[in-house]
Amino acid sequence: MDTLLVIVNILILLALIGILFWQQKRHVSFSKRVFTGLGLGILLGLMIHALYGTGSKVTLTTIDWYNIVGAGYVKLLQMIVMPLVFISIVGAFTKLRATKNLGKISFLVIGILLGTTAIAAAIGVFSALGFQLEGIQLTEGKAEAARNAELSEKMGSIQDMTLPGQIVEFLPANPFADLAGTRPTSTIAVVIFAAFIGIAYLGVKRKQPEQAELFAKIIDALFAVIMRIVTLILRLTPYGVLALMAKVTATSDFDAIVKLGTFVVASYVALILMFAVHLLLIGLAKLNPFIYVRKAMPALTFAFTSRSSAGTLPLNLKTQTEQLGVPESIANFAGPFSLSIGQNGCAGIYPAMLAVMVAPSVGINPHDLGFILTVIAVVMISSFGVAGVGGGATFASLIVLSVLNLPIAIVGLLISVEPLIDMGRTALNVSGSMVSGLLTSRVTKALDTGVYNDRNLAELKVDE
């Protein structure tokens, strides 16, 4: 009987995929197909949740099959991430109009990422205080106990490594191994390796312009091929969103979400406020924030459903360059750098909120201005490189709580609502990345405002 029900669920997914495919053949816009996939995925997941529950054999087996579409799509994107990070950084150097812009662009991109993370941390602190989360009572079940045991083991390895040791870990001793993603710090190591190649290219360009020109053509050709692969994969986005959203809604523990409802609401209030800050910064740059929302929405929607900033990188870069008018030389810095520096949601809001919540347990007044400023400073500094290390928000929280000498158990106690909150955090991370590229382009007067303001370019070219 269970097998028959699983087959029925698979057939329903295939039917919904058929609807999305029909839309594609009818040339329905990419954005509409993504949102259709999102809506259908929510309905399908809720149906499975209501009929079978989260822990039933039918649900687990069904989701296992759905993962072929959902997790398979994310893996295809992850397949191209490391090559894309590498070629994007090197290509950023070959596309620079003038070498003197390199320092300014790097400074602005990193500065905006870190600055917005500091603002995100402040918003996280005041959201936690406003919702009085410092007195929150959390209980430890079997899942939470297992999670805390795992975190304690991970924390031991972190505490054993000094700050200089952590910095050394960022360096690419074997760049080919890092391109294969063999270490938690592989992403930032690849960024550093690519930057070295880019700097070497600039030196060759001055002394041996013919060789530099040939190298630039090779990089341009590789970039074109990789972006074509990206386009082919992105065509699958509506189907991936459908399966991913079905999994999230089918397996979410709604009882736990209700139980920790105040924390969930406080988290999303903070995330929404930080997104409003992004829009405010865009407005201060004398750009229409509503155009940004419209054009960035497909990338943000995928980030929300996939919970993968790295997986969203291809969509991130295409959105910046094709929709927002950001030059490739700047987008290729902002996109990859944001995977390892200053993610607003995972490395900004979340660790700050947890620090406020656990402070009273060790006798610290979370309303103390000195404590608040310390939290913001620690979060901003820790966000440099943390996002590139495996674990995302969890790793960032462990680092921040450890530096502040606060208990880490709270990280494991929130495991039941982690997926729901992580969706919003990831979308905010990607928004922060795109805003850093957009603002850097605006400040350096490299932004193509004609492309940005062209409402007819609100659709990504993924079907050509």
Closest alpha carbon to 317 in 333, 340, 294 = 333
- Structure confidence at residue 99 as a pLDDT band (50, 70, 90): low
Instruction: With a cut of 80, say whether residue 183 has pLDDT above it.
Output: no
Distance from C-alpha of 385 to C-alpha of 171, rounded to nearest angstrom:
11
What φ, ψ does residue 341 adopt, rounded to 5°?
Answer: -135, 125
pLDDT tens column, 10-63: 999 999 999 999 998 898 888 788 889 989 999 999 999 989 888 889 999 999
Closest alpha carbon to 387 in 431, 434, 346 = 346
The DSSP string of 204-244 is: HHHH-HHHHHHHHHHHHHHHHHHHHHHHHHHTTHHHHHHHH
pLDDT tens column, 397-423: 777 887 888 887 777 667 667 778 888
Residue the block writes with tokens 């995925």: 41
| 100 CA to centre of own chain | 30
Rg (CA), the chain: 22
Among 3.40.1280.10, 1.10.1660.10, 1.10.3860.10, 1.10.8.60, name the CATH number for the domain at 2-457. 1.10.3860.10
H helix or E strand, kind and range, residue 289: helix 289-306
Do the Cβ atoms of 347 and 383 come closer than 8 Å? yes
Count CB neighbours of 137 within 10 A.
5
pLDDT tens column, 246-305: 988 888 777 767 767 888 899 999 999 999 999 999 999 999 999 999 999 988 988 888
Residue the block writes with tokens 């930080």: 274
Burial class of residue 61 in the structure, from the number of CB atoms within 10 Å of its CB (0-12 exposed, 13-18 middle, 19+ buried): middle
Tokens of 220: 């341009």
User: Is the pTM value of this prediction over 0.85?
Assistant: no
Do the Cβ atoms of 129 and 357 come closer than 8 Å? no
In this prediction, residue 363 carries a pLDDT of: 86
The CA-based angle 229-316-268, given to 5 degrees, is 135
Do the Cβ atoms of 53 and 59 come closer than 8 Å? yes
CA distances from 174 to 138, 219, 370 (A): 43, 21, 42
Do the Cβ atoms of 233 and 77 come closer than 8 Å? yes
In this prediction, residue 91 carries a pLDDT of: 85
